[in-house]
Amino acid sequence: MTSPQADTEKAPEEGYERGLGSRQVQMIAIGGAIGVGLFLGAGANIAKAGPSLIVMYALAGVIIFFIMRALGELLLYRPVSGSFAEYSREFLGPFFGYFTGWTYWLMWVVTGMAELTAAAIYINYWFPGIPQWVTALVFLVVLFVANLISVKLFGEIEFWFSMVKVTAIIGMIVIGLGVLTLGFSSAGDTAAVSNLWAFDGFFPKGIGSSLMTLQGVMFAYLAVELVGVTAGESENPEKTLPKAINTLPWRIALFYVGALTVILCVVKWTEFAPGVSPFVAAFSKIGIPAGAAIVNFVVLTAALSSCNSGMYSTGRMLRTLADNGEAPKIFSRLSSTRTPAAGIATSVVFMGIGVVLNYVVPEKAFGYVTSVATAAGIWTWLMILVSHVRYRRQVVAGRLPASSFPAPGGSVCSYIAIAFLLFVTGLIAYDADARVCLYVMAGWAVALGIGWFVLKSRNPQVTGRDGGPGGDRGGEPELERIG
């Protein structure tokens, strides 16, 4: 039987600096809910679904809250860095931990590509003569250097990035409400709540077309689970994580549903187009001289913030995999600043593929990488939900201690969220343009399967062990629990 001290020493977060305070975790959680999917991707989705996109964001937001409460219950049962992979390993077996860890790494690598692509598009607003790939490469190098600093400074940078995003969106909502109620600006004559239904109705292209935007909407919510990765570096996870998760509903209501509702009231949905941020378009329509440029700067920082977070999380996930013998041992080493520098550097190299895509197919790069990121994200969320269901069964059976942050309704909401994610996967399979991501994921699964068999042949102990107290290692769960 393993002693509590020994188990703690083996924890994947060993050596990390617990340098993320409450306000930083809160802002990382808020910033994770505001990214390029909202600022840039919403333009294409408005063109596809019109005002009904508001309902799609609200519906997906409810499901995201179910996912985050399931994750929250697991995090307070056993807060570890690399949480998704660890819970999959504990409740579903070592292969699922291995597969989930690498897939979450893939999700953030391709998300980083999307953020770099978006940042390059935003720079084109001011400097249309600079090729997208050049801008993407410059940002990639700058963020890589920035990510080798201490986690405390990383948290501070993310805090202020998120503060800029939050302040900007609130400002957009206030100005939009002013246009609607007071009628000022060049948009005042046409701005009206009736714009939500005046042009071919609230579902102008049919409910089916609206549902097809769910894949893009779900991409906008990627990164809300980032608070789970911060668990190993939070000063007080028992207090900061529940607070961050419980504020999610109002964040979604304000930043997504509220902002889009105001924008679609101020500007007719027919005036939005793919590849153009609806926020930039709205401020241009309102006619505030520097408004569009300011918003463009804000969404640029949003993209860079998300890419920065991606480098942070991929380095931690590779270290978790290395600690479990599922990735090269070099990834388990920490630099002098206690950051997983080798894992971050490797992730940045792969993010560089996004630079190549911007060179080869600049007009399609964003769509390609977002669809792959969404598929990888859906897998991660499914593993969180299934792990939660399995954990609840163990608690009911009395084999594991109950979490101090139980999800409302037990496993019921997790089952609802699982069904919804499977439905979205079906929509992706139906969409000819998005379907390519399923082919990519199939190839990814084959590659990981081959890697698993290689691991098994070289080191059977690695692939045969279970990494957590809910698995088959034996012993008393209370004593083996990493608190």
State residue 222 phi and psi, 5-degree precision: -60, 140
What are 114-154's pLDDT values in tens digits? 778 778 888 888 888 888 888 888 888 888 887 777 667 77
* Token code pair at residue 474: 């034996």
Q: What is the CATH number of the domain that holds 51?
A: 1.20.1740.10
pLDDT value at 472 more than 50: no
Could you tell me which residues are beta bridge partners of residue 289?
none
* pLDDT of amino acid 367: 67
What are 49-102's pLDDT values in tens digits? 999 999 999 999 999 999 999 999 998 898 776 677 889 999 999 999 999 999
Give the count of alpha carbons within 13 A of 350, CB side only. Answer: 18
Residue 184 within any structural domain of the chain: yes
Residue 16 within any structural domain of the chain: no
Give the count of alpha carbons within 13 A of 127, CB side only. Answer: 9
Please state the rounded mean pLDDT for residues 339-364. Answer: 79
* pLDDT of amino acid 8: 35
* pLDDT of amino acid 254: 85
Residue 291 within any structural domain of the chain: yes
Using the structure block, give the residue that is written with the tokens 């897998």: 379
Residue 359's H or E segment, with its range, is helix 341-360
Residue 7 within any structural domain of the chain: no
Residue 105 within any structural domain of the chain: yes
Residue 273: which pLDDT band, with cuts at 50, 70 and 90?
confident
pTM: 0.83
* Token code pair at residue 450: 């081959």
Nearest CA among 257, 259, 276 for reference residue 366: 276
* pLDDT of amino acid 289: 66
* pLDDT of amino acid 2: 39
User: Hey, how many other C-beta atoms are within 10 angstroms of the C-beta on 438?
Assistant: 16
Please state which of the ranges 30-44, 402-416, 427-441 shows the lowest mean pLDDT.
30-44
Instruction: Decide: 477 and 348 in contact? Cβ < 8 Å.
Output: no
More confident residue, 476 or 466: 466
pLDDT value at 392 more than 90: yes
Rounded CA-CA distance 394/385 in Å is: 14
More confident residue, 396 or 290: 396
Number of structural domains found in the chain: 1
Residue 476: exposed, middle, or buried by beta-carbon count in 10 A (0-12, 13-18, 19+)?
exposed
Residue 477 within any structural domain of the chain: no
Please state the rounded mean pLDDT for residues 35-60. Answer: 84
Nearest CA among 16, 87, 121, 91 for reference residue 367: 121
Residue 230: which pLDDT band, with cuts at 50, 70 and 90?
low
Residue 362: which pLDDT band, with cuts at 50, 70 and 90?
low
Most confident of 48-52, 246-250, 324-328: 48-52
For residue 377, the one-letter residue type is G
pLDDT value at 462 more than 60: yes
**Residue 324 neighbours by CB under 8 Å, 6+ apart:** 12, 85, 89, 94, 97, 98, 101, 462, 467
Rounded CA-CA distance 98/88 in Å is: 8
Please state the rounded mean pLDDT for residues 391-417. Answer: 93
Q: Where are the alpha helices (DSSP H) in 78-205?
A: 83-92, 94-126, 132-146, 151-182
Residue 358's H or E segment, with its range, is helix 341-360
Could you tell me which residues are beta bridge partners of residue 20?
234
Residue 14 within any structural domain of the chain: no
Name the residue range of residue 149's domain: 23-472
Residue 37 within any structural domain of the chain: yes
